[in-house]
Structure 1
Amino acid sequence: MRKLLLSTFLAGAALTGATAAFATDSAEAQSTPQFLDLSWADLLPEGEAERIAQLQQMQAVQNGMDHFGAERMPQVQTFNTVDALDGQIVRLGGYVLPFDFTGSREISRFLLVPYVGACIHVPPPPPNQLVYVHAEEPIQIQGLWDPVYVKGVMHTDRHDNDLGDTAYTIELTELLPYES
């Protein structure tokens, strides 16, 4: 259902040249920033979940699976993206994995990951399931284990780093507590 809503939204946005408003009246639409509410599945092109599963299975057979070893497990390298998301204002929920963390809990760049524990001693999620996020001004975060919503402009830009390569980038405009 979410895929259908995403494709319907993106088709409408392509036809009008603008993002769809989620507000119901014109006064609210004028005062509320518009965004596309995404799930992690929305970042995968058609058939990509099956492809990732096959690549992970092949990797497990080739390298052996050792979740308790000290060595870094390789990341499945698939950078396939949903091109229609490039340039869209989006909101995506996940967990913050900072590159740098000051004593004042301020960060300006981090990975948004889909689950707690997405790290390098077990295979990290593939690049199209990690998002590199950067903020113009450092932001303050409360806790590393707390889920958040990231809102901003999404790009289909590859970003290679030591924590995990990414296929998407978000220019952060707002970091919000996650609410179900």
Structure 2
Amino acid sequence: MLANYLKEIPRRTNSLVLHPHVKAFIGYNFIAYGLYKLTSGPTKNNFRKRFIIEPGSSMISAVTAHLFPTDFFNMLTTSAVIYTIGNRHIWKYGTNHFWKLAILGAVGGTLLAKTASNSEYSGALASASAFACYNAVRNPSWFWLGSFPTLIALMAYSVYYNDKAFGGGAFAGYIAFLFAL
């Protein structure tokens, strides 16, 4: 009797329930990092050549760099932002908007990372920064400090660590807000 009742309850669509797309995003993030870490020798060098945007990298790396995180901090930060902000975002605006913003952040991060002369970039941190910036402006109540200090912290990180891809993703998130995407 209780089992039948529980089956009829509609699934709650709030930020406490982890969306399947967010689960897949985070799971893929961990699997891709583990694959990169467990490879050795020439395979790891091929991964670095094809999956990292750095000075002298190929044009294919501009597309594939967002697929393989090669830094542990990058992987954890991306997963944490997607787990919190990305999950709330997907429940509020839908999966289509989630992926549009992720792709826009990746494009913005790629454009600025290709212009950097001494940095390297891999992983989905640009997409995560797009989610953080977009929602800091659109939904300031989601953040403990509010909108302005969160944006200052995002830009301070980008400047201090010379992470142009992170700044490009945040800028793309802000542009998405301005154009009401």
Q: Which has the higher helix share?
A: 2
Q: TM-score, normalised by structure 1?
A: 0.29
- The structure whose residues are more often strand, as a share, is 1
Structure scoring higher RCO (CA < 8 A, sep ≥ 6) equals 2
**TM-score, normalization by structure 2:** 0.29
